[in-house]
Chain A
Amino acid sequence: MKTVVMIGAGQASLSCAAKLRAKGFDGEIILIGDEPKLPYQRPPLSKAYLLGKVEAERLLLRPQSWYEQQQIRLVTATKVMRIDRNNKAVELSDGRVQPYDALVLATGSAARNLPQSMTRSMSGIHTIRDLNDIENLRPELDVARHMVVIGGGYIGLEMAAVAKGLGLEVDVIEAAPNILGRVASKETADYILELHQDQGVTFRVGEQVKELSGDGKIESVVLGNGEAIPTDIVVAGIGAMPRVELAEQAGLEVANGILVNAFGQTSDPDIYAIGDCACYRLQTGDVRLESVGNAIDTGELVAGNILGEEMMYEPKPWFWSDQFDMKLQIAGQISTQDRITVRDVEGEGRSHWYHRDGQLVAVDALNAPRAYLIGRKMVLNGLSPTGEQLANCNQSLKEIFDSL
């Protein structure tokens, strides 16, 4: 193995590259990314960054000097246009051709846009995926008085909290019967809904957006029931789609993401996929996660496998979200059939625990860091307190943990 090329310079490829070096790989590592910046973290974009709590330099995952020190070649502002599998090379937007021995697809995902028929290229309509989106939004935020968020998912809700914090009036519109419908339990969603309402965010849940109205610039959002909400800014937080175009063109198998086996290999064994863009086909089913934890884990897994370790992916899902003064931390993954136990203990915060077939599978910790860390340990180690134990406020989590 001489040259490892990675497409996309983000969290996943950074983790993969760092791990390759940490494991002693001394061949060439080349990260090719289409964004102008060095690889940076996305989570602050919808959180502290717009509130000015994180300086731009601190978004960077590593400073320039690190890449030099680690001898990782970083090619920024350059897009990979095509993968030539026969010649094991990628073609770049500047016309160069870069050969590879192993290729890692780390193209991430792209924010889903509202249909063009609805937006009609009006200004004032945004999605949040990269720094460029934030730089476009920021000057508008400075003068705007009203924001409508379409979609009550994590990014939408975080943006709503940030906008409220900046003093804007905020409406959130969610078409499904609940916010966070696909990603959180009803209990957790309701708790977060209440938090936002207490802070003065207005919700229209179970309402469709019929039309965006305005003349060159957004003026109002018209709902299915005819109500028109005047606004200066619309942020669409309606999900993300894995960036699979290159893989598709190259004839690699694509499902909900670039399809890989448990080792992270695509249908071409010299080509791997990691992070948001990858769909891991495991014995237990397909797994495609959009989270920092997954980007790191799959990146590191593939680093090892490029070096011949033959390790299989074992997802350890975890996630966090900051909204107002609440930090939500989630370990494990819920499904709709799980039995839920609510634990609300003075000094410990609130936590929601999920059992499937009698086994603890996930925990949502709402300003309850202890519950998150203990819950994560339990889930990962297959330790399973009963719902009754967890609901018992007279026992601390530590005591429950120690009794298992």
Chain B
Amino acid sequence: MTKITFVQPSGVEATVEATSGLSLMEAALHNGVEGILAECNGAAACATCHVVLPKAVYDRLDAPEDHEEDMLDFTEAERQPCSRLSCQVRVSDDMDGMVVHIPGE
């Protein structure tokens, strides 16, 4: 189990136990974290699962694929340097303790 903290735009935090291998989006939804709508349930079709990762984690991951890259340019909340679509990021053990921000509109 990997502990991940999601921070709402309001600053409210929720720490959840995420299962490695699932997506970050699933970790949030499965644990009732609000703010990640994930309307397409992970099909990379909606861009409503936007999160901002810590730089160290962002740098460690493979770069987003072109499709995600393009979607990130026009998410509701403006893209930040470490923005990702959370449905495209798989939880791994080395993310334990990570703090993820959900950007506000």
Alpha-carbon gap, A43 to B42, bound state (A): 11
Is the contact region of chain B dominated by helix, strand, or loop, or is it mixed?
A: loop
Size bin of chain B's contact surface:
20 to 34
Alpha-carbon gap, A281 to B51, bound state (A): 37
Q: Is A36 an interface residue (CB 8 A)?
A: no
Q: Is B60 an interface residue (CB 8 A)?
A: no
Residue-by-residue, is A218-255 near B (CB-CB < 8 Å gives 1, otherwise 0)? 00000000000000000000000000000000000000
Interface residues of B in 29-51 (CB under 8 A from A): 29-32, 34, 37, 39-47
**Is B30 a contact partner of A66 (Cβ separation < 8 A)?**
yes
Which of A168-176, A336-344, A368-376 is the interface stretch?
A: A368-376
Please pick, from B39, B44, B47, the residue contacting A327 in the complex, using a CB distance under 8 A: B44
Which of chain B's residues has its CB closest to A61's CB?
A: B41
Q: Is A210 an interface residue (CB 8 A)?
A: no
Q: Is B62 an interface residue (CB 8 A)?
A: no
Residue-by-residue, is A370-394 near B (CB-CB < 8 Å gives 1, otherwise 0)? 1001100100000000000000000
Alpha-carbon gap, A66 to B46, bound state (A): 23
Q: Is B73 an interface residue (CB 8 A)?
A: yes
Size bin of chain A's contact surface:
20 to 34
Using Cβ atoms and an 8 Å threshold, which residues of chain B touch A70? 32
Residues of B bordering A, CB below 8 Å? 22, 26, 29-32, 34, 37, 39-47, 67, 70-71, 73-75
Residues of A bordering B, CB below 8 Å? 22, 41, 43-44, 47, 58, 61-63, 65-66, 69-70, 292-293, 296, 318, 320, 322, 327, 329, 367-370, 373-374, 377, 398
| Further 13 A-B residue pairs, CB within 8 A, beyond A292-B39, A369-B47 | A43-B43, A62-B29, A62-B30, A65-B30, A69-B32, A70-B32, A292-B41, A296-B37, A367-B67, A370-B74, A373-B47, A373-B71, A373-B74
